[in-house]
Each structure stands twice: as structure tokens, then as C-alpha cells.
Amino acid sequence: MKCCYCREGDFAVVDSRSHEGGFPIRRRRVCDRCKRRVWTVEQVEDVPLKVVKKDESREPFRSEKIRMGLEKACYKRPISTEQIESIVRRVEAEVYSSHFGEVPAAMLGKLVMKHLKKLDQVAYIRFASVYREFKDVHDFVEEAQPMLARAREEGRRKRRDRRRVRAQGTVAEDA
């Protein structure tokens, strides 16, 4: 780094200090020619993430848009603001950890749906209907059928378990 005073010498680092999170880092520097001392501050600069939309246009990634979509899907559902924020944070973390520079909008939608499906099936279907652009009721039925099949299987499993517990209780009473 060239000296900003004499424009001849180079600054050498004499001392470094950082905050708990690691950044910003303050460095004490001294010019090897004029011997002037200065403090510099180093800060990490994030590369802004762009979302690539279906029409190939690009716009800045904004977690507020994910939050707004989730709030619409979760309207009048038993889902707290904290749960919505948790999904937004998880999606944001996954996107930043696996994409650099650009992320397809389709990937964002899939990540949101993955987390929403675990949280609330009705909100999931609402979000999917907008994200996947459902055209008629058949699209809703196609999306809901796998969830209905799982729910039926879980119901059967619970009934079997209850019968097994009752049968064991009867055997214990007979003994």
C-alpha cells in the first residue's frame, strides 16, 4: 500500500486489532520512507447476490420478498412471525452458502417450499399455487395427493399402535 503523504514509500503493518466478529479490522501502519503513521480499517464487502428470474432478467436478492410471500401463504394459519423469520433466515443462509453472484428464482422457490412443507401443509399449498402458477383445481389435487397419502399411512400406523397398546394392556390385566 503506497503512502498517501509522500507517495513514495510503502506502508507496513505495525499493529492489528479486530472486533469479536472478526471485522472490521483496524491496522496501524507506518511509511517506510517518511515514517508517518496512520490507521486503516478493513471491512468485508459482500458481493451482492442477484436473482435470475424466469425471463432471464436479474434483480437484487431481497429477503423481504421471501418474507412477504411467506406471510401471504401463512395468512390466518397458526404460524408465528418467529417461524416465518426462521424460514427466511434458513433460506437466506442456504442461498449464500451455495451460490455466489447469482441464484435462480426457481431455487429460491424450491427452498421456501421445502421448509414450508414441514411447517404447514395448507400454507405450503398456497405458496405452491402461486409459485408453480396453478391453472385449475387439478393442479391443487396433484400437489395435495402425496401429502394425503402420507397422512393416511400415518393414521393407519397410529391406529395399529393404539390397538397394539390396548392388546398389551389386556394381556397384562389377564396375568
Contact between residue 121 and residue 113 where contact means Cβ atoms under 8 Å apart: no
Say what the pLDDT of residue 75 is.
95
Residues 6+ apart with CB under 8 A from 94: 111
Res 174: pLDDT: 55
At 154, list the grid cell. 400415518
Q: Under DSSP, is residue 104 helix (H, G, I), strand (E, B) or coil?
A: strand
Quick check: bond before 48 cis, omega within 30? no
pLDDT at residue 175, as a whole number: 55
pTM (2 decimals)? 0.61
| Residues pairing with 11 in the sheet | 31
What is the model's pLDDT at position 6? 84
Q: What is the pLDDT of residues 144-163, one digit of tens each?
A: 888 888 888 988 898 888 88
pLDDT of residue 147: 86
Q: Which residues, given as ranges, of the chain have pLDDT below 70? A: 20-22, 170-175
Give the ranges where 74-136 is alpha helix by DSSP (H): 81-98, 105-119, 121-131
| Residues with Cβ within 8 Å of residue 29, at least 6 apart in sequence | 1, 11, 12, 13, 14, 37, 38, 39, 40
CA-closest candidate to residue 108, choices 141, 69, 74, 142: 69
